[in-house]
């Protein structure tokens, strides 16, 4: 659970020392390079350089195209193949983290903060709405009829798995989340981050059309601060006094 296939492929490709050195070299020169340049920089053959470069392209770490490299005078015939890094940043984390989701909520909260409402309250509203949108989309996709508590938790587990929560069905009517996608930020500001997390998950359940399950604050040292519980288990929720996640 956690990492998707793309992340695992990236880890595997960069696990090779020569490919990692090759990738670092191409990133540092900041212009498209040929196989010959890469081979010379690592002291390997052009054929071996081409093999590793193609692996990096397949993994989505580099892109290739044909053009005259910097400082090279183009001769008659096809332009040489060159390689450069993909534009997007690469981040692989175990367990999986989603800081960008939290950052997006907080940025929108600051930008939309209005009269009489604090940035924190606005962040909770934004997080709830984001979750509600996700839940509505999920319900629309599966188009279920009347959902029971166990069905609601099954749908939630499938969705939250994709966000790095590592859901665990502790009981038929209890879904625990073994990973906090926002840790270690949650450890620095648990009252804010855990509240945003709970609001997001509560909004998700509402969007899903759930009236039988609740997003409950139940901090544990080695897990997310929120659990999804059926009505009968929803009593006794505690505040986010302990940092969630690991």
Residues 32-77 pLDDT 10s? 999 999 999 999 999 999 999 998 998 888 889 887 655 555 555 5
Strands 62-66 and 226-230: unpaired
The pLDDT assigned to 1 comes to 41
Whether 199 contacts 192, CB under 8 Å: no
Beta strands in 155-212 (DSSP E): 167-171, 174-177
Name the nearest CA neighbour of 191 among 227, 217, 228. 217
Name the nearest CA neighbour of 193 among 116, 108, 127, 143. 127
The pLDDT assigned to 77 comes to 55
Q: What confidence tens digit (pLDDT) does each residue in 83-136 have? A: 998 866 555 555 566 678 888 888 888 888 777 778 889 999 999 999 999 999
Q: What would the mean pLDDT of 238-246 be, rounded to a whole number? A: 43
Q: What confidence tens digit (pLDDT) does each residue in 186-231 have? A: 778 889 999 999 999 999 999 988 888 999 999 887 789 999 998 7
The pLDDT assigned to 3 comes to 47
With a cut of 60, say whether residue 163 has pLDDT above it.
Answer: yes
Whether 63 contacts 84, CB under 8 Å: yes
- Joined together, the tokens standing for residue 207 give 């969007």
CA atoms within 13 A on the CB side of 144: 17
With a cut of 50, say whether residue 240 has pLDDT above it.
Answer: no
Identify the residue with better confidence: 143 or 174: 174
C-alpha–C-alpha distance, residues 129 and 50, integer Å: 48
Provide the H-helix boundaries in 94-148: 99-112, 119-142
């Amino acid at each position: 659970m956690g990492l998707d296939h793309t992340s695992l492929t990236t880890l595997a490709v960069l696990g090779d020392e020569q490919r990692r050195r090759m990738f670092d070299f191409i990133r540092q020169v900041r212009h498209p390079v040929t196989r010959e340049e890469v081979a010379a920089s690592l002291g390997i053959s052009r054929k071996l350089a081409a093999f590793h470069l193609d692996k990096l392209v397949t993994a989505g770490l580099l892109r290739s195209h044909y053009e005259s490299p910097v400082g090279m005078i183009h001769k008659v015939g096809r332009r040489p193949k060159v390689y450069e890094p993909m534009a997007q940043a690469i981040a692989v984390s175990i367990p999986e983290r989603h800081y960008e989701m939290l950052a997006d909520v907080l940025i929108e909260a600051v930008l939309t903060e209005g009269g009489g409402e604090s940035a924190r309250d606005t962040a909770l509203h934004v997080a709830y709405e984001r979750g509600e949108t996700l839940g509505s989309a999920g319900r629309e996709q599966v188009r279920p009829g009347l959902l029971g508590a166990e069905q609601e938790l099954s749908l939630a587990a499938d969705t939250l798995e994709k966000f790095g929560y590592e859901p665990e069905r502790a009981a038929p009517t209890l879904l625990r989340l073994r990973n906090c996608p926002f840790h270690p930020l949650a450890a620095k500001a648990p009252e804010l981050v855990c509240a945003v997390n709970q609001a997001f998950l509560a909004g998700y359940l509402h969007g899903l059309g759930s009236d039988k399950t609740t997003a409950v604050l139940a901090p544990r040292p080695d897990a997310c601060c929120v659990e999804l519980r059926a009505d009968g288990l929803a009593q006794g929720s505690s505040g986010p006094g302990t940092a969630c996640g690991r």
